[in-house]
Structure 1
Amino acid sequence: MGSDSSPSTYSVQMPEPRLHSGRSGRKSRNRDQSKISALGLSIFSSGETESKRLHNALERARAPDPNPAPKARSFDTVLCLDTSASMLQGGALEQMKKAAIEFVNGVEDVVNDTGVEENIGIVTFGGFSNIVQHLTNDFARVRDAIESMAIKGKSPFFEAMVVCLAAFDGRGGTVSVSGEYDVHPRIVFITDGHITECTDDPYGPDRVHDPTNTRAGFSRLMMDLSPKTNPSMPHPILFVPVGSRADRSFLESMAKLNDSHLVEADMITSLCNYFRVQETIGKVIVCLHNKDTDSSDGQIEAVVRALVPDIKSHEMREVLSTVKEELKQPSRKKSQRTNPTDFDEVHEDTEGVDRGERLPLGTRVKRGPDWKWGDQDGGGAGTVVQHEDNKHPFTWVQWDSGEWNRYPYGAEMGYHVWKTEEHPVFRRDGGELEIGMIVRKGSKWNQPDRDDYPGVVIRKSRGSKRVKVRWQSGQITACPADTVEFKEKEREKRRVSPIREEEFHSDDGQDDENKIRAWQWMDDWGDWHLYTQDQNRLLEKSFQRSKTGTCLVERSGKQFRVLFRKKVERDVSKGLERDVHRVLLPRDEYASLLLAEELMSSNH
């Protein structure tokens, strides 16, 4: 038997809700009210002024980002920060900034430790409501946005919440973990709780003129955004009161109306692990959804601890409760497992291969860094022969020992097998073609396709008279065994780059006109490469800010997060990690190496 676990895959989609929110429940359809339609929802506003305000706020939110930020294909949080004039009282501003920065730092720590990426956006409301930082996993940008906030004006809660919803439009949405469990984006609303209406005097005194209707309108909005009313909307919406004058009672009521809760500012870091817990729930469901009998608490807990050994007790309780409830849903049908030895039944997830999330059929593999399956591999290598299906991406391997099993392969569940170039399958004198052999079309090839692509044998018929070959072009062909012939694979030549063995955290001596702190990354061959000059400056700036933090860089259209504490860079999409160096180089040597890198890149 193979592994019963599966790597998680993410798909992100925007909800298409139909929301009708007015200033109060009974008057939301009066003729003097205007309807704003956006984001798949309809919002009824009281009067021309509020309607115009909401319309303009949505237009600003929809405007292209003049300085686009990188974004991971992962979970999303919008921090909604109150920057109204009332925040200057009771220490509210200082407490809000401290809480927001602690939240961002805590999320960055989770990303650093677990690889579970999260995007954070910033919406502020003080006079007007604006997106000051679109969703991004570049946490340095998020911190800069928090530090540069300006305080003034009134507190338009209703407008601010609508702008938060707009922040997800086209930029974020619900994440599906392996197609089994949907995780919604969330909003963290940090404020002193003193709400005001939307007026044509946004920078007037920060006090409410019509408290009953203003509170009623926002209350109705929170009920309409609850998961019971609109299950596709962002959830949870968490309220964080700040300052000694905070209207805690009002904020607690809003949280209850939204089926959410209040979070104290000094406990905001308790929210940082939220998406890791949600992802764990999805992984456990994937592991257990095929069981023929109900899973006990002990079985669920065993799977959870195998996946997340350091999970906390309150998180375990949440996982157990949610998983048990989800597994009871009648919509969770058991999937039919594929047969990786059937000659006619071959499945390759070509889209997953193209995205780099799957190993192509025919790939030679060995034990990966997350291997935990004893001697199932017989101590040798094997060949990828099947992908279970597109929804549950197990990788099936036939080992050279003759055994076959299925294993997780991916950033979320770990790399239990690993591609290898060091273990080719050779043909013995007079021997038959074997699974994993590299072949080419022979002189007896009689099919229309005459392209000279090499291929790999992935199936043999009984009696070995026919084989199936996965060609380098991606095509899979069944053919007589005597129409293809064994091809010995040529090894590529390695290029060796300079390597410097200096202390990573060494800061003895300041950079001067003769020396520079240079950052390097290691490729798959063990060769070292310099980051670009712009990346080098960004890395050094981020490193000096926090020597245990992270920095996001882009290369060849991909995102890489450099983890200073671990001295590695992590491929954000795949989770693969490579070593990094921080070295002190003479400037003339740095310039020469940088030029050599640029010339080599231009020749590829």
Structure 2
Amino acid sequence: MQCGMEEMQYWHQRARDEAFELLKRQHLQGKGMRTVFLLDSSESMAGEGFRQMKRSFLDIINEIADHREEDENVAVLCFGQEVKFLHYLSNDYESIRKCIDRIECRGSSPMEAAFLLSTSCFLNISSLLHVKDIVPTARTILITDGRPTDPININKPEPALVSENPFSMFITRLRATVTTSAMLGPVLFIPVGSDPNKNLLEFISNEAKGVTVVHHRAVQQVGRFSKNMSITSQLLRYKSPKEITAADIKSAVFQHSSYVTDRDIEDILETLGNQNVSSSKTMSDIVTDMNNIDEMFTERYSDMPSIGTRVKRGPDWKWGNQDSMGPGTVVGHSTVGWLFVEWDSGRTCNYRYGNDGQIAKYDLIECDEPRILLYHQQIATGCLVSSGPDWKWDDQDGGEENIGTVYRVQQEVIYVKWPHGVRSNYRFGYQNKFDVRIRDPLNPSVIERLCFQRSTEFKNSIPCEQNQNESSQASMSNTIEGHETAIPENVRRQWQWRDPVGRWNNYSDEINEKIEACYRRNRDSTVVIQFKGHIHRIILQQRKHVDTITKLTTDIRVCTGN
């Protein structure tokens, strides 16, 4: 793991990436407040610590589930050997209950990174309601043994007695990070384990406003928080905080639910008595460059792959399995040398492409691997579309035969880039209207049309002096044992591939026609075919045939047919 400012920037960027992922999953979320669990999955949590954490987590989730009318959203992150989401924001409490069973207690305890990543859940919190800036609409719950790891000394946990060095650089930074989270809503610390470091948790709690330590045996009340805040919101519709009495609260509680505790009333009184429980500040104020999510889907630089371009990991890739070992689609340009990609697995992240002003790195390369929908998907980023039955947008698509690429999906509305550069949004199910229809990327006519579009785009974009070379390339040629030989137009060409033992084999008539059609349009194009159960790419310029699954590569050639 990196350290210092570079590490902070990394986790802030991760938070932005996850925020885009959460944005795409809005349809899976409820309309209530947001609760984010940070679960310590480090090695020191094994045994009693994990058992207490699981019990506390399930007690809170079960209580939340008992008040489904509040429609509370819950997300779960773990931090240990990995810092990652176990469950994105959702009101599917049954699924949320199960996610803790995937935890394995290993590695160090990067608590600071977990808090930084958790901010992704609040990047759009400005869309939620803050009733008179009093009632919080979000909270963070940390369950830990209180032994975070300093990223600078990753193998050395902080000492149990914080008083030995309460203002170390790491503790100061961790306290500041927690304070930032508390600006968005309450932060709860739940110490667990046979010997939790309560000194550290209590120290941060005392120093950071809005942070509370809760005993793991008293967590059931934590699950009632959303219900109590809902009651508080109702009270504030009719009276100011100073006018509300305990009798008013008790009456509202009984109207809301037949089950009430003294602690419920205390929670409501505490909220009403603290005008600053929820600040009017949102994550949008803190991360100002994220005010407008639409800025992500912007094409800024002509020297980077355009929106809709298909890509895969490149020579400088260092991002683990973020791409799920598959292709993705460029959905926007970030800053100089960085672009956004949505992988076919659904994840959206930011990657280096070119020189960012300091160094040139290429995490990605362009590819022609098509977007293949899963059985449950109707449409997705990277799909090919053309005008559909309810099209009413004149020539936005550049012509009725043109095929565009989907680069953004929002429930029943999609965004498409057309081959002549126009980008716009279209209905795909909205009010039962379909402006576009999906095209099969393996259909011969679709492949031929794409080859034509790419050839046209290429000719329109290259300098004039290079266009002059086209006449010298007008005659088609074949490659036999590395030699170029002209073939008359009226003679059938047969494309062949070389097998592992060196024998040349004819492609089927159907595939041969696909290759030939693309070659006639643009001799430097790439052909996508279905071959022996896999999707393959034929790179005409390089005379190569690539299996996109196994990555095995072989030579191809063209010769005169019989």
Q: Same fold (TM over 0.5)?
A: no
TM-score normalised to the size of structure 2?
A: 0.42
- Between 1 and 2, higher relative CO (CA 8 Å, sep ≥ 6) is seen in 1
TM-score normalised to the size of structure 1?
A: 0.40
